[in-house]
Structure 1
Amino acid sequence: MLSLAPAATAVAAPTQLELHRLGGSVFLLCWTLEASPFGKPSIALTGGGRRLAAASISLGLRDGRERLAVAFRSSGHDSIVATLSDHGPQGDVTAAFDPALVHGLADPDDILKDLTPRARLALANALVRAWPPLFNLAAVPSYLSFLRQLLLALFPEPAAMQPSAALVEGRWLSETVVPADLDALRTAFRLDGAGLTRLELPSRLGAADRNGQRELHLVLEEPPVRGGGLLILQSERSLVVRTLPGRQAAPSLGRWWAGKAASRDGLRNWVIEQLAGLSEQGRLLAVEMQRRAPLAVQHVRRNDDLPAAELDLAVCNRAGLLIGGYLRDPDDLLEEVLLHRGTGEPIAMLSRLQRFPVRLPSGAEGETRAAIGFAAFAPDYAAGAPVLQPRCEIRLKSGTVLTLRPPVQPADAATIRARALSAIPPQYLTGAMLEETLAPILAACQEELRENRPEPEVKTFGRGPARPKASVVIPLYRVYDFLRVQVAAFAGDPWFAENAELIYVLDSPEHEAEVAHLLGGLHLAYGLPMQLLAMRRNGGFSAACNAGARQARGEALALVNSDVIPVGNGWLPALVAKLDKRRRIGAVGPKLLYEDGSLQHAGLFFKRDSKGTWLNHHYFKGMPGSYAPANVERPVPGVTGACIVMARELFGELGGFDESYVIGDYEDSDLCLKIRRAGLGIIYVPDVALYHLERQSISKSTDYTRGAASQHNAWLQMRRWDAQIAALMQAFETSAAEPALLQAQAPSEPDLVPRFSFRRATAA
């Protein structure tokens, strides 16, 4: 029962007051009044002397009046007083009522009557999105029944949300048509007997057609057997209701892919993104579908002076998309390069293009024409999904559009890395190109390889020492020519045979049977125990060494290349003996000789090139092995990873070799810099000599793009250690260790140069 009681200063009462039960103990008070010229009216509710929590919304009526709808919860013990204030001179108006007298559920038609279309939308949005969590209505059966009736009153015959294709992980791709004013899906809810549930639905809205309709694609969970629920889709300006049918046989993704997806670039890319985001199985299915039904390659090749272009590189990972190709535009007709994606506007790429000169065959007796090669990076493209054939457009100032599409691209990290390293010729690479274009995708490749690397398999040949004094870890990659000589030299060294643990790490798993057979034969021939760790996937020099170090048990760790051969016996204990904790020696390295006896390594130092980048150099490289300055034991900035000896515990504490460096270069100097940052020194020991057949193994690896990989690694080292290297080299060049270093370093970082008396050394 409702009774109106104007306050003392009021002279008129509202025209209409209604009370409805929404469900449980939640009610809706609707107060209809003439539009007020004094401001926005408001209603306050009190019961039992306390103000009640309430949520209100203002709804316009078709006749120009206004209806204030206030949702609130009643305890059922006290009458409630509603006070209406329109800020006018007539004052406030009060109404007293008892909600306990309202028994029946609200009639949706009564609540919706006379409301404008916009008001109906606003009320529905409040009933679906705002009020259920506020009043805990999402699981109240009576409220769910009322809400269903109200939605069906707004949408008497909602269309069904039919499945288009079965995906993975119990997900369906579903499709429907919605009005064009559903401009962006904000929220989605499922309404069924289990409750009102908010859904996180990946969605894609197509462009509006001439009939004012848009295609909407959603990724839904497989429905229950009986179905019968409603799907509520809300945007800022619209609300759409669809029925959810029961479980049925969904079409296969392959059939859908061969049909609609084949002609819809954006939709195809969007589905790829959704599959990749579901699981690893989904990512693999996305790759399979693209390879099973590839799109036609598109390019523009011409021998005249009209614009020509080709896109032959488009590799994608979690960092983004790297594209590459060439352009010919002799008359400067190019306006923009656009990269299309699954949703949203195309990405303008022209300002991101890194350009370099190339020559193209003209087709006449080996003649060539000048063109512009390019590479560009689009970060976060497709959320890292493996889009293997993205579409690119070349827009000319004349309005002409040229479409480019590459062949199907690789999806695995190792091949993407190799393609990225060949995107820009090494002679044209700059620091800016590396930082803006190549480095992000290479870093993501290294991270992916590290995350997804299976544990290596271990094969043992013979029984090594129970408590080895030193572990020797040697990475192998595709070239095994030096193993016979190396194992023979190790086996002929009594100390090595008795005290050392030998661990080979194979980083080319396709050769596992061949290498295992070879090592097994060498063990039988020489009796030297050894282990073979076979990586299940190629990870590079750093990953192989780190895996071997984790397997090692010796107190000292020697990291040695497969093309390093000892000159004589006793080399390993002589190096281990130099690891003096009292002198804070962190690592030692020997003299390394070329085949002809000339010096390959007498310590590592840093020197800037013409561009200001720090490069790694070896002292006295190429000088005779007997060269006097190279035969003095001394501190050095670093030693090469071809043979470095240090405590195994220290190697682990420092995180081993940094696997961010690509393939194999500069990770040894990075490790040396970490040793110095820990406050430890590095010693060159010329009394120990080994032959190093430098890079004879790696130069035979066809996937090693030395120029680009080496430049990337030099850039990465420079980016991380520039100031520290400068201070370190200044200290070595001036023989003033700490003062100069402290001035260059951040106060919180340990010194890179311990307290040594430096002896000067000059580089050849």
Structure 2
Amino acid sequence: MGPAQTSGQPVLLPAWTRLGTDIAAIILPAGATSARALSLRAGEGPAFSPLSQLPLDEGGALLLARVAPDQTLSLQLADDAWLPLGAPGPLALLAAAAARPRFLALLASKAAGPLRAGADAALARDLAALAEGGIQPAPDTLRPLVGLGLGRLLWKLDSGGWLVTAQGLARVAEPDGGLAPLPPNAAGALLLRAEGAALRLPSGFAPPPNLVELARQTAPAPRALLRQALLALRRHTAEPWCADQLRNAQVLAMAPTRSSAEPSNAVAAAIDRAISDHEGGVFLVGWLHDPLRLTRGMTLRGPFGGTPIAPQSLFRVSRPDVVKRFEQAAFGATDPRPGFVTHLPNVGPGPVAQWRLELALGSGEAIELVAGPALIPAAQAREAVLRGVNPLDVGPALLDRCLAPAAARLHRAAAAEPLGTEVVRIGRAVAKPSVSLVIPLYRNLRFIRHQVAAFARDPMLREAEIIYVLDSPEQRAEADHLLRGICGLAGLPVTLVLHGRNAGYATACNSGAAEATAPMLLMLNSDVVPDRPGWLAPMLARLAADKRLGCVGPKLMFDDGSLQHAGLYFARGPGDDWFNCHYFKGFPRHYPAATRAREVPGVTGAAMLMPRAAWDEVGGFSAEYIVGDYEDSDLCLRLRQAGFAILYEPAAELFHFERQSIAQHGGYAGTVAAAYNRRLHHRRWASTIATLMEDFPRMGETHAAA
């Protein structure tokens, strides 16, 4: 590097070389213009700043930038003049810097970090060439100890750094407990340690035991190595390879369930369920019989350590089976509410396939209980949470602090699974339908014949688009065969949307709406059958006449002709929550107040007609409710929030054979799903509903007015 003249002052000229495929390394000598004031230009392109810089001896700096292999490079001097740097020099220009401790590791971190060149094999070769001559043999203690599958190993290390392989660079984190996971190509690779050493990793070793093999052994040494390996992996659990290894090791070497359940024991207990909530927490259900009050605490233990369970986080619940079992126990009968349930939202990294519960006694002794599988599909886990407590034990605190948080996490996990939608067209589609009927199906198919027969008798329905959405995939063949036969006889074209898994009412309706092509959408339950032709016309007429309307609902009747729905309103229930109610439910079909069209707080999702534009504006049904319930009132409240009004139209009359499908859903019937949905709805809309109901009468007030 020699001096040049600019503005009468000598300036030391920089040199540069290429690293890897497209990294320019510019050596700025001491005394040159400050690196902060420098800009670069590749060819005739715009000026840009270096992506990174490293300090050199005697005040110099190494500037790093991305430059295409065939481009020239210019440097902007202090007086804004551009100085061409000429052809790149040899890699040996960096030899002096490479001899400094920590330089190569720091260069690797900049190249893989700001310059995003970690996968550049040419860069890896250049770093290895710069390290040549300073590479030290690895000590005997540096070796692989645990196999992780797919060639990845846990190595015994005492510090991190950068791994230089033929494929590129890989970050080696500081080891936890002396172990760190390295990729499959680590054997024989170069390790650039953070403190400056360059080591050649050994190769040609015998394959070490994997996690499953360690987990199946009972000797102290392999058990200790397993614990060390799990601690080393805990920071990597968000990475798929680590999650897979941990899950496999635990599931394939699962310990038998263990409880202390004999009536002759002074302390008896069991964990009925310990379920991962798929977001780092666990839902725990169990019971405790301790008439002498010997227990002093509980700790939930997993592969990464223990989590003390605070007494205030436990909800005690009834367990008639436990009470009966211990009513004649040697040390006395159990508490009236021996059951307990809790949700621990943050128990550390996962996945955890099996939990242990440790009961600490006042004497210092401990009782260990082993739970069953914690990793079960999210939808089944959600059902287990909602079924884990007797509904009579569920109050607002238990719901809000325990059941709802766990169920909400599992519901999100279930909703994130691929839906696997498929669309089947039956018959020739209507060219320009005025309305699209979206009809979700779950288990109950017996009303389809009656529904399609009623549609076939109605001339207006022959110009409509009819979309069935099957949310019970196990019935695919049955539903397809049934619709082809019935619709073929009736001469009605239909679309069948098939879900690959059960996703719930809201998602089924949203899937159908996504296929709809008409400017009007009618959400219709599969157990709703028109009383006579012509019912759709007055509803469409209302929407055409009043653009303020976002939704119209019809009169719905039970099979005996009494009223099931004449508009939806809200009323306070137990616990002061808002409940959904139907005007004049059970009243005679022709009850005078139910024969008048009027604006109402909402209408039921069993039959609701709305402009497609209004549906799109509010985003359709909310899928945050579990299985089905309260999505309809939630939609109505969002329509109102958007400035729309909602109307009840009594001239449209249909029969509704209420709750024929949802009663067959294992995730709803016998669970607290209804309470969960109501509580979610209440928390979301309580103040809005309170204000809204000041302007609308309750049923009794309307009755009195009539």
Shorter chain as normaliser: what TM range?
0.7 to 0.9
Give the deviation of 1:633 after TM superposition. 0.7
Match for 1:520 among 484, 489, 492?
484
Match of 1:668 in 2: 632
Tell me which amino acid in the other structure corresponds to 1:189: G
Change (3 A) 1:679 1:417: same
Q: CA-to-partner distance for each residue in 1:81-113, whole Å, 9 max, x for gaps?
A: xxxxxxxxxxxxxxxxxxxxxx997999xx9xx
Match for 1:463 among 393, 415, 428?
428
Tell me which amino acid in the other structure corresponds to 1:459: V
Match for 1:692 among 656, 677, 689?
656
Query: In structure 2, what is the Cα distance between the partners aligned to 1:608 and 1:141?
Result: 74
Tell me which amino acid in the other structure corresponds to 2:456: A
Match of 2:23 in 1: none
2:320 matches 1:356: no
Change (3 A) 1:48 1:610: closer
- The CA RMSD measured in Å over matched residues stands at 4.0
Match of 2:449 in 1: 484
Give the deviation of 1:516 after TM superposition. 1.0
Number of aligned residues: 608
The 8 Å contact of residues 587 and 681 in structure 1, kept in 2 or not, is answered as yes
Q: CA-to-partner distance for each residue in 1:203-256, whole Å, 9 max, x for gaps?
A: 542xxxxxxxxxx343221125x614237488xxxx999863348775565444
Tell me which amino acid in the other structure corresponds to 2:356: R
Change (3 A) 1:668 1:192: closer
Tell me which amino acid in the other structure corresponds to 2:292: D
Match of 1:320 in 2: 281
Matches within 5 A, 1:357-372: 357-361=318-322, 362=324, 370-372=336-338
Give the deviation of 1:357 after TM superposition. 2.1
Change (3 A) 1:130 1:345: farther
The 8 Å contact of residues 467 and 496 in structure 2, kept in 1 or not, is answered as yes
The 8 Å contact of residues 355 and 374 in structure 1, kept in 2 or not, is answered as yes
Q: CA-to-partner distance for each residue in 1:515-556, whole Å, 9 max, x for gaps?
A: 111111212322221121110111000110000000111111
Match for 2:201 among 244, 250, 254?
244
Match of 1:167 in 2: 149
The 8 Å contact of residues 268 and 342 in structure 1, kept in 2 or not, is answered as no
Match for 2:460 among 484, 489, 495?
495
Q: State the SS of the aligned residue for 1:579.
A: helix
Tell me which amino acid in the other structure corresponds to 1:327: L
Give the deviation of 1:263 after TM superposition. 5.0
Q: State the SS of the aligned residue for 2:468.
A: strand
2:352 matches 1:394: no
Give the deviation of 1:762 after TM superposition. 6.8
Match of 2:171 in 1: 199
Query: In structure 1, what is the Cα distance between the partners aligned to 2:181 and 2:218?
Result: 16
Change (3 A) 1:489 1:364: same
Change (3 A) 1:587 1:200: farther
Match for 1:609 among 560, 568, 573?
573
Match of 1:221 in 2: 183
Q: Which has the larger radius of gyration?
A: 1
Query: In structure 1, what is the Cα distance between the partners aligned to 2:205 and 2:493?
Result: 62
Query: In structure 2, what is the Cα distance between the partners aligned to 1:269 and 1:193?
Result: 26
Q: State the SS of the aligned residue for 2:672.
A: helix
Give the deviation of 1:469 after TM superposition. 0.7
Match for 2:497 among 526, 533, 538?
533
Match of 2:253 in 1: 293
Q: State the SS of the aligned residue for 2:160.
A: strand
Change (3 A) 1:131 1:241: closer
Q: CA-to-partner distance for each residue in 1:697-749, whole Å, 9 max, x for gaps?
A: 222333323551011111111111111111111122499xxxxxxxxxxxxxx
Identity among equivalent positions (%) equals 33
Tell me which amino acid in the other structure corresponds to 2:160: A
TM-score by length of 2: 0.76
Q: State the SS of the aligned residue for 1:406.
A: strand
2:160 matches 1:188: yes
Tell me which amino acid in the other structure corresponds to 1:642: A
Tell me which amino acid in the other structure corresponds to 2:695: A
Query: In structure 2, what is the Cα distance between the partners aligned to 1:688 and 1:707?
Result: 35
Match of 1:21 in 2: none
Give the deviation of 1:406 after TM superposition. 1.4
The 8 Å contact of residues 553 and 567 in structure 2, kept in 1 or not, is answered as yes
Q: Which structure 1 residue ranges, 5 or more long, are not aligned?
A: 1-23, 26-45, 54-69, 77-102, 112-123, 179-186, 206-215, 736-758
Change (3 A) 1:105 1:472: closer
Match of 2:599 in 1: 635
Give the deviation of 1:47 after TM superposition. 6.7
Change (3 A) 1:191 1:668: closer
Q: State the SS of the aligned residue for 2:180.
A: strand
Q: CA-to-partner distance for each residue in 1:52-101, whole Å, 9 max, x for gaps?
A: 99xxxxxxxxxxxxxxxx9734559xxxxxxxxxxxxxxxxxxxxxxxxx
Query: In structure 2, what is the Cα distance between the partners aligned to 1:200 and 1:605?
Result: 61
Q: CA-to-partner distance for each residue in 1:560-591, whole Å, 9 max, x for gaps?
A: 11111111111122212211474400001011
Tell me which amino acid in the other structure corresponds to 1:668: D
The 8 Å contact of residues 360 and 371 in structure 1, kept in 2 or not, is answered as no
Query: In structure 1, what is the Cα distance between the partners aligned to 2:95 and 2:664?
Result: 86
Change (3 A) 1:577 1:104: closer
